[in-house]
Structure 1
């Protein structure tokens, strides 16, 4: 399997933000060294924080991809060719090295930057060691420093971690050779190259501290920082103390925060499990009062329990099973490897081996549930590519896993026992399978069991920091596979067709930062991490969206599985802390006393996505009409809204749920599965059974059949698009400079921004690449496009400068818009002979599911009591808009309505002509003589979005073939409209 990198919208948005924030090159310099061939050309505002850029991207959204592509962009547009990537740790360095040097990354970037390559130079510990009595520079350092601009197609990158950068080796000047003909200090030689420095994980390089000073010693012309977290700075004292995030230019130039990442489906949703404990056992805990190299002091109920090095915790409480002693030393650890810190809580019951077995067992249950979903892909279409499922276990004791003298530790033995039991149970279930995919899964499970029971099992592996110096060949093979062979871990079979069964990984936090694998679906912490590190960072190894066996990265619409995170009872508030962290990352802070400017801007921006004319005045007029705010924008205390009395702030959230949606993580994204507040909704089966006959027809797959004329339509549209008489599509493209200046002529200081071309040269593309991308994005033949391009360029006086990225984007966008508009009625639905499962219906069992995730019904909830005719079992009612959805759900319906309810997402999966699927919003069953009528409703707000008319046409066409079954379809924009439709159907006024 080969991973296929894809260009994601949020990543291109980050690149566009960098391009806009970059001031460009200094073309008017008088510096005599401007053309120094060993150094980057000169950047405008170089060596100045004014030029530096911050890019904020949440864990798992592709920071490494963005800064790698940024290097290509800066090289292609501006000739910059020397970059230093500074990372905090060797593990992050290894992750970065692995990505940049991977075949799949090279292949991906070659599609955009032909004949351009990155020469990655990595400095590791030991590279400066003297050899043959001489102290020489590492070859990788020499190659980076002394590379010249003459190799125009090569980008030189130096990758170094902060420990290496801060080492004496980088600063000493007594080497037995020189660089650049005279430099004897590595750090000064790097500075002479005038590098662009990229900082990964900027919170580990705070300004004013030693590691940032190392960055400054390299004299970077420009610094671009990439991270989910940035350092903070504090000013003032006491009551005047102010802490704020330390951003260049006061704010990040691109901000993809945690709320956006989760709500937009750019990372996995998370389910959190932990084994419960009896209240008496849970309340029996000790706090670490003091932890020193030679002594540990625990405290409980006002009494202290001192322990010297080597003394057993069982002497304090018999609940501390397993002969656990205090190891002390600089690491302040217990003998089982648990790192201690002041105020940490220790619950004796969580130290028992059988307690950790509970977590392992639950983790395996979660794992195999997900693996079955990902392997069988029942809800993803016929023969959908499989997804390899991985699991990661964080443990506290290496010896419990590795054992001694090449043996197995108790933890590994327990794991094998539990895994063997579950494998045999699954194999027994699938041994009699008839379906080919299920037979294949059975074969995979059997190969797993066979490997697990062999002398050299290949099912689970571990990686620990101590492994780097191990001479054990099996251990080194495990480490190599985990750290470097990502594609092997993601593959089901080797080149000979043998199953690759490794999918359980063990580590002691070594894999926390810098390592990632997109197909980690289960993470189990068998022990707390021992410190208050970021909760997002802890789940970060499993947040990335997965790839299937073809290497395609999936969106959240293409698979249903989530990340299962298993923890101990002592961390049962993990979900609450994680949600708090995510919400705290939002740049907008709620003010429940008054409507702030930031809140206004956020609501207006969100509303303009569906109503471009919506503005601040319209918002304030609406809030004034509903008596929500005072003249000074303070919230009123008691507001009557839809018959309910609430605070002005609650009324705002009710009227404009966009405020909460944009600044709070959706409830279904992080779920505490031990919580009594379930995030699934149970179906009222007796009500759904009344829809069974209709659903047997809705479950049948439908194929879109286009009219034969669409091919001619495509050619006609293409000719119209290429005949661009006013040159709005074929445009010239030059690099631009953004200029900002402070203007005080109006009495207030404002920033005026202008854009101007800074180069007389045009940006162009190679013609072959231009045609290739155009053909792929439009599904038009290369021959047709070539003929049309020849005519277009001839009309443009043979000026090939029009062959550029802007023209390409204009052609793709204009063609697809016009073609979709032309064919939106030129097709019909043709039923196929087989049925398919959806979010609400299991086609194999011919029955409705028991429950569904609450999120597929709506992101908001109301505690209104649900009608007994409603399709779901309990409040709260789930909805996506207060008007009309919530109003429709809250209305009482007459006796002729036998059942009604909101349809979950993907309940029907109506194919769209422009790809994807759609499902209407509501269904009503209306008793009407001997034959019932089914009313299917698509609800939209009064200001309908662009594309809603297309949805109406799609759904209308689909339900037309069900008219004989009594199905009536309508799009409605208000609750009253739905009510009127029901009355007309009940009275027989509509056919």
Structure 2
């Protein structure tokens, strides 16, 4: 399989924010080196920290994609071609290198940036080693520094980690070579290229520390920092002391925080699990009194225990199993990698072999639960490969003794537990009926066969010690984990054999930098300490998965969550994680007073549908309702929608987006020991849905859009107009415009004289064949027609190939589609086909409704609801996307004529759009008629000032339902709760119902 990248809306918004804040190229500089061919063009406001920007994106949302795309975009738009990516560690460097150099990334970016490529130069430890007695520069460094602007299609990127940047090799000047004709110091040579610097994981580069100072030595013209977390700074002293995040310009220029990431379904939801300990085991705990480089002091029941370097903790308590020793050092480490801090608690029982077996067993159970759901997806949807990641104490517990002989005890235990589980699953799979179930049984059998072979391929490990290991089998495992992401995500190799590897082991080596979207289980067989970021710990499993075809899947299209298994000493992990997520917001909620920040946030959300809405409008409404007083304090009691509550609760009820933007949705992170129900899925009330079965058998029948006769001729006619429009044909070149102000000949006037200079040769063009193909795909026009129109058009431009480029392509596509869609919307109808399709709510093969749907498919907000037997779903809370009219419609009380109602999930009815894609209305109502039959009211809710796309959607839906030719189905569009009430009354009063 090949991963297929796509640009997601939040990534597009990040790129737009970067483009908006880019200072621009200084085209009028009098710097004599402005056109220095080894350096970037000069940027306005260069070298000024106030120009730098921050882009905040949560772990797993694609910041590496965004900054890679940013480099392409800045090169295309402004001619910048030298970038430096600075990362904190070698592991993150490897992850970045792997992405940028991957075939799937290169293919994706080539679709947007024709003939442009990235030359990635990576500097690693050992690259400066002397050869033949001479001290030379690494080839990667020379390539980056001495590349010129003359290669207009290549972007030069230098990737370096903090330790390498701060090394003596980078600062030294005693090389036997020179760069740029005379420079002997790498740092100075790099600075001469006037680079743009990208900082990944900025919290690891505080601006007052040495690593950031080294970045400043690179003399970057512009810095863009990308991260989920930024450094902290302290301002003031004593009671006035304030700790806050250190942002350029005081705030991120794009802020996709943890709350938005989880609430918008951009990352997986999380289930936290841990095995119980007996009361006796749980109370047997030691506390760290002090941890020094050479000595550790623990206390228990008032007694002190001293452990020196190399001594075993089992000497003070046999429950500390696994030969755990104190290694000391400046990090105060145990031999299992745990960094100790004062007052940390240690529970010996969680280090026992039997306890670790419990976690392994639970992790394997969680794995197969997720794997079956992902393999046996409803409606034979493409399979999802399921991976599990284990963080363990020691490489020797996995690989065996230091000499590499045999297997470690943990690997042996894992194999034993996994073998038993596989046999149980295979026995159950013997009763498989469907082809997909039989296929899964084959996958399980291949897994067991491999596990029992001499060279099993079911699980693998990667540890930092592996970098010095020459064993061929170990190197193969390491390469598969680090470099062969697509292989890990695939089910079969090129010969059709099952790829059974899906369990991975590491000693925190994969904690950062490495990622795989299909990690569904993470098991920690060791404690991580008290101060680590909880989001960082779960970060390896947050990304949304891809299916076997490489397509990224939105959250509503799969059911599994990330299962995160921890030990008993971290039982508060879930609450700490929720607290960390909720703290990742710059707007603080005040429950006593309406703050300006709260008002601004509410107004900003309303303006998405009503651009003219103002702060004054909101305050007037809250004042009239009695929610706030004249000083904007919340009133103690107020009645809203016949319900009494506090003013603060009323505000949140009226503007749920405020809470949604400042608090994670309940159930996104679950402590499975406390969880009783699954708030992430909504159960259908089948008795009510069965009233809709006859209708859904009609709706499940596929409909094809058929265009009116003569549309091909109209399309050809429109195409001729588009290709005759000379404004659509543009030249795509880069120029520096130098303007001089001079006195005119008569000395009484001044004149501005422009001098245009190409700072690279040639123009951006597209291959003619690719140009025609993309036009044909995007417009559905025949290649022959396009070719003939292009011949005529190019004759007007003297057949200059420079007009055949991406900008011309985009102009032609946009102009044609805009004109043609105006004609299409009046000239199409639906034609029923002879086959049926499944939707998110209905299985057409079994002719029955599904059991549950994802909560996010019904709406991003939630609200408590009074139990109503007519509702289509079994369990509150209500899910909705807007307060008015959606929430108000859901909370209304309906007369006896309405016998069932509810909100429709996304993709419940797949109505084809003439402009591509599908659409689904918002609500459905079952109305009992006097003749005992049922009628159905389908409702789409929109704001009064509908946007263009809203008008298209309502037009399509009306057309679709009108052509059902079924008198008992009514379609209405409502812009408010009052509007809905009137439309409902019209239907109830109709002659057909009465």
One fold, TM greater than 0.5?
yes
- 1:527 paired with 2:526, answer yes
User: 1:429 aligns to what?
Assistant: 428
Q: C-alpha displacement at 1:500, in angstroms?
A: 1.6
Contact 1:775 1:781 in 2 (8 A): yes
User: 2:173 aligns to what?
Assistant: 173
Tell me the matched-pair count: 967
Secondary structure, counterpart of 1:938 in structure 2: strand
How far apart are the structure 1 equivalents of 2:755 and 2:90?
40
User: 1:828 aligns to what?
Assistant: 830
Alignment of structure 1 residues 123-522 onto 2, 5 Å: 123-277=123-277, 281-282=281-282, 284-300=284-300, 303-309=303-309, 313=313, 319-322=319-322, 324-379=324-379, 384-404=381-401, 405-522=404-521
Q: C-alpha displacement at 1:163, in angstroms?
A: 0.7
Secondary structure, counterpart of 1:290 in structure 2: strand
How far apart are the structure 1 equivalents of 2:918 and 2:278?
47
Over 3 Å counting, the alpha-carbon distance change for 1:861 and 1:97 in structure 2 is closer
Task: Name stretches of at least 5 consecutive residues in structure 1 with no aligned partner.
Answer: 739-756
How far apart are the structure 2 equivalents of 1:155 and 1:682?
49
User: 2:595 aligns to what?
Assistant: 596
Over 3 Å counting, the alpha-carbon distance change for 1:4 and 1:942 in structure 2 is closer
How far apart are the structure 2 equivalents of 1:104 and 1:511?
22
How far apart are the structure 1 equivalents of 2:685 and 2:917?
29
Secondary structure, counterpart of 2:664 in structure 1: coil
How far apart are the structure 1 equivalents of 2:659 and 2:815?
35
Secondary structure, counterpart of 1:667 in structure 2: coil
Over 3 Å counting, the alpha-carbon distance change for 1:916 and 1:162 in structure 2 is same
Contact 2:668 2:680 in 1 (8 A): no
Contact 2:78 2:734 in 1 (8 A): no
User: 1:610 aligns to what?
Assistant: 609
How far apart are the structure 1 equivalents of 2:113 and 2:239?
54
Over 3 Å counting, the alpha-carbon distance change for 1:927 and 1:37 in structure 2 is closer
Per-residue CA deviation, residues 739-771 of structure 1 (Å, 9 max, x unaligned), is xxxxxxxxxxxxxxxxxx997879865373554
How far apart are the structure 1 equivalents of 2:554 and 2:322?
45
Q: C-alpha displacement at 1:505, in angstroms?
A: 1.0
Over 3 Å counting, the alpha-carbon distance change for 1:955 and 1:17 in structure 2 is closer
Q: C-alpha displacement at 1:454, in angstroms?
A: 0.6
User: 2:58 aligns to what?
Assistant: 58
Secondary structure, counterpart of 2:27 in structure 1: coil
Contact 2:81 2:155 in 1 (8 A): yes
Over 3 Å counting, the alpha-carbon distance change for 1:908 and 1:83 in structure 2 is closer
Q: C-alpha displacement at 1:464, in angstroms?
A: 0.6
Over 3 Å counting, the alpha-carbon distance change for 1:196 and 1:675 in structure 2 is same
User: 1:746 aligns to what?
Assistant: none
Over 3 Å counting, the alpha-carbon distance change for 1:620 and 1:223 in structure 2 is same
Over 3 Å counting, the alpha-carbon distance change for 1:240 and 1:988 in structure 2 is closer
Q: C-alpha displacement at 1:479, in angstroms?
A: 0.7
Over 3 Å counting, the alpha-carbon distance change for 1:689 and 1:888 in structure 2 is closer
Per-residue CA deviation, residues 256-309 of structure 1 (Å, 9 max, x unaligned), is 333333333333333333334556654554332322234333344555444444
How far apart are the structure 1 equivalents of 2:300 and 2:165?
45
How far apart are the structure 2 equivalents of 1:297 and 1:914?
70
Secondary structure, counterpart of 1:169 in structure 2: helix
How far apart are the structure 2 equivalents of 1:587 and 1:256?
12
Contact 2:766 2:806 in 1 (8 A): no
User: 1:751 aligns to what?
Assistant: none
Q: C-alpha displacement at 1:340, in angstroms?
A: 2.6
User: 2:892 aligns to what?
Assistant: 891
How far apart are the structure 2 equivalents of 1:682 and 1:25?
53
Over 3 Å counting, the alpha-carbon distance change for 1:24 and 1:835 in structure 2 is closer
Q: C-alpha displacement at 1:732, in angstroms?
A: 7.8
How far apart are the structure 2 equivalents of 1:100 and 1:106?
7
Per-residue CA deviation, residues 581-636 of structure 1 (Å, 9 max, x unaligned), is 33333343333344333333333332222223323333233223322233444433
RMSD of aligned alpha carbons: 3.6
Over 3 Å counting, the alpha-carbon distance change for 1:645 and 1:277 in structure 2 is farther
Contact 1:703 1:832 in 2 (8 A): no
User: 1:856 aligns to what?
Assistant: 857
Contact 2:736 2:756 in 1 (8 A): no
Over 3 Å counting, the alpha-carbon distance change for 1:206 and 1:82 in structure 2 is same
Q: C-alpha displacement at 1:963, in angstroms?
A: 6.8
Over 3 Å counting, the alpha-carbon distance change for 1:846 and 1:61 in structure 2 is same
How far apart are the structure 2 equivalents of 1:6 and 1:423?
36
How far apart are the structure 2 equivalents of 1:153 and 1:962?
54
How far apart are the structure 2 equivalents of 1:885 and 1:279?
49
Contact 1:262 1:268 in 2 (8 A): yes
User: 1:784 aligns to what?
Assistant: 785
Secondary structure, counterpart of 1:524 in structure 2: strand
Secondary structure, counterpart of 1:366 in structure 2: helix
User: 2:867 aligns to what?
Assistant: 866
Once structures 1 and 2 are overlaid, which stretch shifts more, 557-566 or 762-771? 762-771
Q: C-alpha displacement at 1:958, in angstroms?
A: 5.0
Contact 1:923 1:934 in 2 (8 A): no
Over 3 Å counting, the alpha-carbon distance change for 1:38 and 1:760 in structure 2 is closer
User: 1:643 aligns to what?
Assistant: 642
Once structures 1 and 2 are overlaid, which stretch shifts more, 864-873 or 808-817? 808-817
Once structures 1 and 2 are overlaid, which stretch shifts more, 981-990 or 363-372? 981-990
Once structures 1 and 2 are overlaid, which stretch shifts more, 234-243 or 273-282? 273-282
Q: C-alpha displacement at 1:982, in angstroms?
A: 6.3
User: 2:93 aligns to what?
Assistant: 93
How far apart are the structure 2 equivalents of 1:971 and 1:544?
37
Task: Name stretches of at least 5 consecutive residues in structure 2 with no aligned partner.
Answer: 738-753
Contact 1:885 1:939 in 2 (8 A): no
Per-residue CA deviation, residues 922-961 of structure 1 (Å, 9 max, x unaligned), is 4444444563314343252552643445444544555567
User: 1:624 aligns to what?
Assistant: 623
Contact 2:27 2:736 in 1 (8 A): no
Q: C-alpha displacement at 1:98, in angstroms?
A: 1.7
Contact 1:668 1:854 in 2 (8 A): no
Q: C-alpha displacement at 1:475, in angstroms?
A: 0.9
Secondary structure, counterpart of 2:552 in structure 1: coil
Secondary structure, counterpart of 1:425 in structure 2: helix
Q: C-alpha displacement at 1:210, in angstroms?
A: 0.7
Q: C-alpha displacement at 1:169, in angstroms?
A: 1.8
What TM-score do you get using the length of structure 1 for normalisation?
Answer: 0.88
Secondary structure, counterpart of 2:366 in structure 1: helix
Contact 1:700 1:832 in 2 (8 A): no
Over 3 Å counting, the alpha-carbon distance change for 1:901 and 1:19 in structure 2 is closer
Per-residue CA deviation, residues 792-825 of structure 1 (Å, 9 max, x unaligned), is 6677898988766555445444544554454346
Over 3 Å counting, the alpha-carbon distance change for 1:119 and 1:667 in structure 2 is same
Over 3 Å counting, the alpha-carbon distance change for 1:122 and 1:948 in structure 2 is closer
User: 1:108 aligns to what?
Assistant: 108
How far apart are the structure 2 equivalents of 1:386 and 1:702?
24
User: 1:538 aligns to what?
Assistant: 537
Over 3 Å counting, the alpha-carbon distance change for 1:191 and 1:670 in structure 2 is same
Over 3 Å counting, the alpha-carbon distance change for 1:675 and 1:632 in structure 2 is same
- 1:877 paired with 2:874, answer no
How far apart are the structure 2 equivalents of 1:795 and 1:598?
57
Contact 1:829 1:958 in 2 (8 A): no
Q: C-alpha displacement at 1:89, in angstroms?
A: 0.6
